């Protein structure tokens, strides 16, 4: 009995630390930013390769967020965490992170990619206004050939996910809580001589 309790307690302690302490929304080091940029670009390429019709959402959406690596794990209760980049009119303008906690019977773990498209500017601004939480009924469209042709926006957003590794019995995105931070732009100023 104690053999099972120790990993279970460790799992919940780790999950609690992630949610209480949180992780930084914006990567601190330049190499972390470059790595996230590369992972986001790769996630977009892989998802477009799997479903070329996804391009239509890139073409018609005001903006989007790419979370290239989201981990979701559960043993009875579950948690998820991911970090990504946010784009407005095709330009990277900031970073976001996502946290999700869930109750109920769940078991398993997975890594997946997630792209959230914002139909209009006001949808984008709702997401980037600080903290944003998906409603309980939000679900993502699993990427497969032609899936994007049948998908549409719901409440100004369309969400696509693609499992990378693992298996979970739950595809719900409800309760995902996002935090956004704008990209810091340092402008070069010429000083008078």
pLDDT digits (tens, 9 = 90+) for 137-160: 555 666 666 566 667 778 888 888
Give the model's confidence band at 20: pLDDT under 50 very low, under 70 low, under 90 confident, else very high.
very low
3-class DSSP string for the chain? CHHHHHHHHHHHHHHHHHHHHCCCCCCCCHHHHHHHHHHHHHHHHHHHHHCHHHHHHHHHCCEEEEEEEEEEEEEEEEEEEEEEEEEECCEEEEEEEEEEEEEEEEEEEEEEEEEEEECCHHHHHHHHCCEEECCCCCECEECCCCHHHHCCCECCEEEEEEEEEEECCCCECCCCEEEEEECCCCCCCCCCC
Average pLDDT score over residue span 74-82: 78
Instruction: Please tell me the predicted confidence (pLDDT) of residue 16.
Output: 44
Instruction: Please tell me the predicted confidence (pLDDT) of residue 67.
Output: 93
Average pLDDT score over residue span 24-48: 88
Q: Is the pLDDT of residue 103 over 70?
A: no
pTM summary value: 0.77
Instruction: Please tell me the predicted confidence (pLDDT) of residue 139.
Output: 59
């Amino acid at each position: 009995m104690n053999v099972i309790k120790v990993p279970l307690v460790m799992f919940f302690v780790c999950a609690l630390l992630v949610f209480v302490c949180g992780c930084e929304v914006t990567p601190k080091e330049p190499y972390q930013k470059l790595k996230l940029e590369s992972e986001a670009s790769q996630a977009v390429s892989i998802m477009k390769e799997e479903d070329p019709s996804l391009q239509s959402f890139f073409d018609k959406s005001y903006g989007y967020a790419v979370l290239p690596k989201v981990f979701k794990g559960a043993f009875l209760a579950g948690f998820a965490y991911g970090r990504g980049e946010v784009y407005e009119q095709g330009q990277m303008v900031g970073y976001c992170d996502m946290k999700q906690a869930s109750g109920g019977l769940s078991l398993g773990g997975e890594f997946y990619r997630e792209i959230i498209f914002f139909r209009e500017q006001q949808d984008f601004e709702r997401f980037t206004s600080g903290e944003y939480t998906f409603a309980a009924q939000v679900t993502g469209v699993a990427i497969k050939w032609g899936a994007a042709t049948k998908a549409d926006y719901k409440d100004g957003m369309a969400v696509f996910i693609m499992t990378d590794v693992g298996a979970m019995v739950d595809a719900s995105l409800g309760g995902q809580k996002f935090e956004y931070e704008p990209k810091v732009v340092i402008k070069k100023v010429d000083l008078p001589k």
